[in-house]
């Protein structure tokens, strides 16, 4: 069973499982894409724990990618936390043998940032659920469909100038989404309880990342260090125009705190 089988990293995990010939049961609210018709979809039943256990029956491993990016309306970190608690209870009732939970680097119950604090709290629930587990903590997963890097590319394609918050000296250790999926699958076969950071071999400053994307787009953009408030004002305006949330203040703080880095050995090859 995989939550978010058609989400960004979830789709990579789905493809990797299908390539291994593993049948995938996917818990999602999204419509099924035509190229993933072999996934058996379980429409979300977050409100009905018993139905949840029935849905999970027969699943050997629960891969969990479910989480929210920020609080919006009634969809909050608190709600996501309670849903994961319910999901794990259902997994125990259904006799699931292993959980592979996708978290984030530097998840901590002591984090001042709700995203990272919430992930820390989920980690505690996983550790205490009584089922053998792996917690995989990616930094930034890059690949087709990634939000952060593709949003940067979107701006670079449309503007000759790109404002880099405070000169972009903070660091990120990206991992290829395919490598993350391979790691997640490997952890499904691991023994005992495991916690592993998922980072690639290179540490890049944010400035270097923007420069690489600019070169990939056409290299003509002028990168300009700007204060954080200016970068946030520009992304907020773009969000109003596109009806999306491009970058939240907390996401920028997380980047500035180097939270998408790790001292662990790289698990990804790219
Ligand atoms: N992308 C990265 O670079 C990155 C880096 C570090 C950690 N992570 C972690 O990796 C996991 C997967 O991330 P992703 O980027 O692949 O995320 P994603 O595609 O947005 O979502 C994955 C899952 O979360 C659910 N979800 C997301 N937003 C939701 C909302 N507002 N309301 C209800 N359900 C929502 C999706 O449900 P549906 O299937 O119903 O849509 C899906 O089950 C997350 O736990 C994330 O924190 C990602």
Residue 50 confidence (pLDDT) above 70: no
Residue of 2, 7, 123 best suited for mutating to test ligand 1, as the one with most atoms within 8 Å of CB = 7
Closest residue to atom 29 of ligand 1, CA basis: 68
Q: Which atom of ligand 1 is nearest to the CA of 138?
A: 6
Q: What does the pLDDT read at residue 48? A: 65
Distance 79 CA to ligand 1 centre (A): 14
Is the CB of residue 168 less than 8 Å from the CB of residue 205? yes
| Secondary structure (H, E, C), the chain | CEECCCCHHHHHHHHHHHHCCCCCEEEECCCCCHHHCCCEEEECCCCCHHHHHHHHCCCCEEEECCCCCCCECCECHHHHHHHHHHHHHHHHHHCCCEEEEECCCCCCCCCCCHHHHHHHHHHHHHHHCCCCEEEEEECCEECCCCHHHHHHHHHHHHCCEEEEEHHHCCEECCEEHHHHHHHHHHHHCCCCCEEEEECCCCCEEHHHHHHHHHHHHCCCCEEEEECHHHHHHHHHHHHHHHCCCCCCHHHHHHHHCCCCCCCCCCCCCC
Provide residues with CB under 6 Å of ligand 1: 3-4, 6-10, 28-30, 44, 65-68, 75, 102, 104, 138, 140-141
Residue 45 confidence (pLDDT) above 80: no
Return d(Cα 270, Cα 231) in angstroms, integer. 29
Which of the four pLDDT bands, split at 50, 70 and 90, describes residue 252?
very high
Return d(Cα 63, Cα 121) in angstroms, integer. 17
Cα-Cα end-to-end distance for the chain:
28
Which of the four pLDDT bands, split at 50, 70 and 90, describes residue 43?
confident
* Domains identified in the chain and CATH numbers: 2-141+175-198 (3.40.50.720), 147-171+202-256 (3.90.25)
Could you tell me whether strands 171-172 and 204-205 are parallel, antiparallel, or unpaired per DSSP bridges? Answer: antiparallel
Distance 61 CA to ligand 1 centre (A): 19
Residue of 4, 140, 152, 178 best suited for mutating to test ligand 1, as the one with most atoms within 8 Å of CB = 4
pLDDT digits (tens, 9 = 90+) for 166-193: 999 999 999 999 999 999 999 999 999 9
Q: What does the pLDDT read at residue 163? A: 96
């Amino acid at each position: 069973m995989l939550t978010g089988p058609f989400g960004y990293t979830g789709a990579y995990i789905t493809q990797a499982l299908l390539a291994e010939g593993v049948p995938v049961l996917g818990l999602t609210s999204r419509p099924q894409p035509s190229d993933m018709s072999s996934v058996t979809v379980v429409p979300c039943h977050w409100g009905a724990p018993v139905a949840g256990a029935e849905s999970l029956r027969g699943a050997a491993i629960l891969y969990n990618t479910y989480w929210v990016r920020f609080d919006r309306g009634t969809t909050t970190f608190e709600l996501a936390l309670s849903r994961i608690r319910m999901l794990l209870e259902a997994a125990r009732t259904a006799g699931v043998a292993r959980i592979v939970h996708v978290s984030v680097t530097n998840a901590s119950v002591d984090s001042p940032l709700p995203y990272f604090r919430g992930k820390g709290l989920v980690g505690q629930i996983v550790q205490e659920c009584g089922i053998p587990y792996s917690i995989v903590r990616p930094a930034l997963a890059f690949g087709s469909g990634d939000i952060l890097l593709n949003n940067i590319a979107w701006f670079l394609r449309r503007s000759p100038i790109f404002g880099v918050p405070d000169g972009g000296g903070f660091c990120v250790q990206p991992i290829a989404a395919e490598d993350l999926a391979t790691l997640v699958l490997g952890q499904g076969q691991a023994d005992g309880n495991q916690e592993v950071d998922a980072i690639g071999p290179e540490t890049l400053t944010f400035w270097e990342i923007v420069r690489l994307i600019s070169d990939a787009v056409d290299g003509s953009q002028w990168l300009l260090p700007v204060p954080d408030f200016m970068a946030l004002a520009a992304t907020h305006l773009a969000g109003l125009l596109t009806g999306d949330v491009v970058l939240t203040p907390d996401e920028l703080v997380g980047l500035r705190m180097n939270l998408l880095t790790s001292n662990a050995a790289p698990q990804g090859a790219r």
